[in-house]
Structure 1
Amino acid sequence: MAMAASTTEGEPMMDINTTPLIDVMLVLLIMFIITIPVQTHAVKLDLPVNDNSQNQPPPVDPVKNKVTIDPAGTVFWNGSPVTLPVLKQYLDLTQSMNPVPELHLQPDPQARYEVVDNVLAVTKRAQVEKMGFVGNEQFSNF
């Protein structure tokens, strides 16, 4: 197929020749790629040091775990005080174990119902399947 010329013979062509421009751009691109330093895959982070003497999280027992609530409203996980978000993390961890450990809930008779209700809501959100109340005989006098 021949291309039809829109100009007559002998007139100068008014279009810019882009071939040298593209060649120069490709050479510059290759030069930039070669001169870029090799990226390392290591990420240097200053991680916190785990101090074993204090604030060691209580281990998750693979058989049973006990959540207690004292009269002041403090929630304990296997004897160590925890907050509700930390309790949710522990419960999520237990639900991913095989077999799923039992959860024993033992609120104090003098504990506020609001705190016990919040703990029950956390256990429901964590979809705890094996849960039981321990020490119900202490409520028989009320």
Structure 2
Amino acid sequence: MAFSTGSGGGAPMADINVTPLVDVMLVLLIIFMVTAPTLSYPIDINLPQRTLNPPPQTVEPPPPISLRIDQSGVVYWDNSPTPLNQLQQVMRQTVERDPTNQPRLEIDVNDDAQYETLAKVLAYAKNAGMDKIGFVQDAE
């Protein structure tokens, strides 16, 4: 910081020398401009291609399956209580009936149910090969 007094003995004048600050900022700007392109990685995405022929109409989907988890952790498969250890087998049988035209699994979970039960149900559905899974939300 430089202090100088005027020739007439007036008030002192304080000037900041900003040249070194500008030099440092320009160097940092150049460093960031050079290194920024090397930090980005391309991600390959398979986008759907336009087709002139519409997809063939499929068979009407089967009615959805209602799966409800109540507050105490009991699982109801289409309104009938099902033990959690047999649920994956029931799901697998449902998928094996028609793997190309699976029913939608609609999961309704009580707000007070434990997350562990829901996590097991979702893992069983994935392992059984269920593709269409949705969550039911009660309108309040």
Give the 5 Å matches for 1:70-89. 70-89=70-89
Greater Cα radius of gyration, structure 1 or 2: 1
- 2:110 match: 108
Alpha-carbon RMSD across the aligned residues, in angstroms, is 1.6
Task: Give TM-score scaled by structure 2 length.
Answer: 0.50
Deviation at 1:118, TM superposition (A): 1.2
Q: What is the rounded CA distance, in whole Å, between the counterparts of 1:79 and 1:114 in structure 2? A: 21
Deviation at 1:135, TM superposition (A): 1.4
- 1:94 match: 94
Structure 2 unpaired stretches of 5+: 1-61
Deviation at 1:136, TM superposition (A): 5.7
Give the 5 Å matches for 1:58-77. 62-77=62-77
* Structure 2 residue matching 1:68: 3-state secondary structure: strand
Give the 5 Å matches for 1:1-142. 62-98=62-98, 99-135=101-137, 137=139
Deviation at 1:117, TM superposition (A): 1.0
Task: Give TM-score scaled by structure 1 length.
Answer: 0.50
Structure 1 unpaired stretches of 5+: 1-61
Q: Percent identity?
A: 34
Return structure 1 stretches of 4+ with deviation > 4 angstroms: none
Q: What is the rounded CA distance, in whole Å, between the counterparts of 1:137 and 1:78 in structure 2? A: 21
* Structure 2 residue matching 1:116: 3-state secondary structure: helix
Give the count of matched residue pairs: 77
Q: What is the rounded CA distance, in whole Å, between the counterparts of 2:115 and 2:139 in structure 1? A: 17
